[in-house]
Amino acid sequence: MTIAELRQAWTNRRDEWRKLGVQVDGARLAEEVLAELEQLAAADAEELLTLTDAAREAQLHPDSIGRAIRQGRIQNAGRQNAPRVRRGDLEKLTTRRRSASRSPDPAPSLSAITRDAIAGKLPRERRG
């Protein structure tokens, strides 16, 4: 089932219930909607993507996706010369990238410290 089909099914159900004046149990209705959304998400996670499509979704370069497959970080769901990636596996790459981007800045290198120290000792030119 696609998201459009799910939307249409619930729209039809709403219209029918409105016409009949149906009273529903809100918690039970929410459970049913959530169960259908979970089924949709599970089916979506199994969809196979080309490296280009996967890269577009993950906002990475296709070579990065290929490298992740070769390194075993994600599974090749296709053939050796025609790799495919499951949409659900992309989360492994994007989660890792997000956590890496939140890490503190690395310590400055020795060359950067030296350069800054030397620059601090040099007289500054005055312009104007």
- Give yes or no: residues 25 and 37 share one domain: yes
- Measuring CA to CA, which residue among 43, 20, 40, 44 is closest to residue 32? 40
pTM: 0.53
In angstroms, the CA 76 to CA 62 distance is 14
Total tally of structural domains belonging to the chain: 2
Residue range 31-70, pLDDT digits in tens: 999 999 988 888 888 889 999 999 998 899 999 999 999 9
Residue 12 lies in a domain: yes
Q: Which residue has the higher pLDDT, 63 or 114?
A: 63
Given CA atoms 22, 26, 27, 30 in this order, what sign does their dihedral have? Answer: positive
Residues 10, 40 share a domain? yes
In terms of domains, do 34 and 56 share one?
no
Residue 93 sits in the same domain as residue 82: yes
Residue 49, amino acid: L
Q: Is residue 83 part of a domain?
A: yes
13 and 32 inside one domain: yes
Does 8 fall in a domain? yes
Do 60 and 39 share a structural domain? Answer: no
Q: What are phi and psi of 3, to 5 degrees?
A: -65, -35
Residues 59 and 37 in one domain: no
Amino acid 90: pLDDT: 87
Q: Based on the domain organization, do 97 and 62 belong to the same domain?
A: yes
**Tens of pLDDT, residues 93-107:** 876 555 555 555 566
Q: How far apart are CA 123 and CA 85, in angstroms?
A: 57
Question: Which residue range forms the structural domain that includes residue 23?
Answer: 3-45
Q: Is the pLDDT of residue 18 over 90?
A: yes
Asked if 40 and 78 sit in the same domain, the reply is no
Is the residue at 60 inside a domain?
A: yes
